[in-house]
Structure 1
């Protein structure tokens, strides 16, 4: 057989594999572009919601407490803005049917307040006709509550303000930790570092526990309405959890949107004042696994995103400096 015949045979053998590889590459590219679009839409939605959270709400009632973090919350304006921006980001601002489908992939939205948090999720109650009504609504405020083995209890806030019950003297005390610690026998109030550690972990755990409960309830509801995807607790980085206890804000996550051969899962946190750090992107630069900040402007195809450089490094990615910087 002449060499040209061998070449033709080889080409015929290779062609199907090349076609499959090209199709898979195109699918991966489209999936990546969709994921970036969804991320941008979700980030914009929580940022806009957080900004409107403290706008057009009466702040006079809170001014007496003297804390910049104790502000009145406009929950209704925040949630309306969240969905309006999200729908626009997904390109369905005028499509009510598709909006309804998209919103089913959002099990809960959390508003982090000064002395408690609220969850916007499916609620059930009896309507005027006595029939059960199920629709998203705000739940009651959940406090950041803590108790120790001696029976002492504390209600934390986003700063050092605390309401404490001293079990030994059966007395209540409210004020800054450093101001009331001499008035009580509560050990936690005597140790500033331990107080801060417990305060933060209590707030995070309270939100986590409530989200887990709401997600379990949501799974029961959507299974009766044809959604087969099982919603799970979002994997949120420790860095972002720490951000939740720094200021009032909005936390939302999306799970289970079909996207190519996989599903889209993500979350976003928007604070009314703090500035979020740029996302860390894990990518391929030739044969190397590299990571860089989203603000660097690189266009290497993203494989994963991380909340911190340490997380990317643990997955085997090497740092790629931003142009003109040392990263």
Structure 2
């Protein structure tokens, strides 16, 4: 009889703890499931935005064989938002607005600068100022000291301005005569990446400040924070154009909120250029790619972004490509 009493007493004591533990476990599972669902939607949107970035990027080379990459930024943002809204089943304006408020920033990492899509104060034609999503102009990656300002890119091409004489020098870093103090070929890559990261971080900070100001006007209690770039893989792989997205504040239930930050590369710069040359034997023009085993550097006439671009200019595939 005493054993039964002790058993009943044990159940009475432990049952509330078991129920609380079971409830907390269920709550965590539900929250994690919703978090994963949100992240899958955002990741899919980033993939589509990155695909658009790669599709609409236009590579070209000028007469001095310098690289130029044009980006259709509005197409990239539209591709991201289309998948983002579809994934959350946000088909009406009200639903789209609800999920748009969680987008703190979309950053397009370009070859010689970045673009930022985020909430900013803008004035309409009547002068009325309000917050709305805005895509910025290109913001360059600039490294400065007391004498020189150096414009960085995603490779070793730089543009240096002497701030005393305003003379400009362009070229690969190794060919530059006048450099900022302490910069050399040993530490250039580290400084280049740090400069790009610092530039993007500054843009993200401004975007978060502006987004928080807008959120307070809307009565939102959530405080958006600046994502820490150093802890993410993109800070170690700044060598190609890509898409960076920061989404925060979506409620996950039980006092938890989504905090998502990711970067995807497009691998546009990894595509090898096509070299056009003149065959001195017959005067014909041919193009080669990186697979060609012969060198045509002496009579190289032009560099193209693609084989199609070379063909449009009247260049034929070389004998090794046929």
Work out whether residues 229 and 235 of structure 2, in 8 Å CA contact, stay in contact via their aligned partners in 1: no
TM-score (norm 1): 0.74
Q: What's the offset of the Cα at 1:96?
A: 3.9
Match among 143, 150, 153 for residue 149 of structure 2: 153
TM-score (norm 2): 0.75
Structure 1 residue aligned with 2:258 = 264
Q: Distance in 2 between matches of 1:229 and 1:25?
A: 25
Structure 1 residue aligned with 2:6 = 6
Q: What's the offset of the Cα at 1:188?
A: 5.3
3-state SS of the aligned residue for 1:109? strand
Structure 1 residue aligned with 2:70 = 72
Asked whether 1:35 is paired with 2:35, we answer: yes
Deviations, residues 267-287 of structure 1 (Å, cap 9, x unaligned): 11111128xxxxxxxxxxxxx
Q: Distance in 2 between matches of 1:186 and 1:37?
A: 48
Q: What's the offset of the Cα at 1:125?
A: 2.5
Asked whether 1:119 is paired with 2:116, we answer: yes
Match among 177, 201, 205 for residue 198 of structure 2: 205
Deviations, residues 56-104 of structure 1 (Å, cap 9, x unaligned): 45x26x3337567x422121111111122223333x2435433311211
Work out whether residues 120 and 138 of structure 1, in 8 Å CA contact, stay in contact via their aligned partners in 2: yes
Work out whether residues 120 and 207 of structure 2, in 8 Å CA contact, stay in contact via their aligned partners in 1: no
Asked whether 1:24 is paired with 2:18, we answer: no
Q: Distance in 1 between matches of 2:21 and 2:179?
A: 69
Q: Distance in 2 between matches of 1:42 and 1:131?
A: 33
Work out whether residues 197 and 229 of structure 2, in 8 Å CA contact, stay in contact via their aligned partners in 1: no
Work out whether residues 54 and 71 of structure 1, in 8 Å CA contact, stay in contact via their aligned partners in 2: no
Q: Distance in 2 between matches of 1:99 and 1:168?
A: 50
Q: Distance in 1 between matches of 2:213 and 2:180?
A: 42
Asked whether 1:255 is paired with 2:248, we answer: yes
Q: Distance in 1 between matches of 2:209 and 2:121?
A: 14
Structure 2 residue aligned with 1:230 = 223
Asked whether 1:240 is paired with 2:236, we answer: no
Q: What's the offset of the Cα at 1:206?
A: 0.7
Higher gyration radius (CA)? 2
Structure 1 residue aligned with 2:176 = 180
Q: Distance in 2 between matches of 1:41 and 1:67?
A: 38
Structure 1 residue aligned with 2:162 = 166
Q: 1:259 to 1:122 in 2, by over 3 A?
A: same
- Root mean square deviation of aligned Cα: 2.3
Work out whether residues 249 and 270 of structure 1, in 8 Å CA contact, stay in contact via their aligned partners in 2: yes
Structure 2 residue aligned with 1:85 = 83
Work out whether residues 103 and 248 of structure 2, in 8 Å CA contact, stay in contact via their aligned partners in 1: yes
Q: Distance in 2 between matches of 1:176 and 1:109?
A: 30
Q: Distance in 2 between matches of 1:185 and 1:3?
A: 87
Deviations, residues 236-257 of structure 1 (Å, cap 9, x unaligned): 3445242562111111111122
The answer for unaligned runs of 5 or more in structure 2 is 269-322
Q: Distance in 1 between matches of 2:232 and 2:125?
A: 45
Work out whether residues 168 and 185 of structure 1, in 8 Å CA contact, stay in contact via their aligned partners in 2: no
- Per residue, is there more helix in 1 or in 2? 1
Q: 1:169 to 1:37 in 2, by over 3 A?
A: same
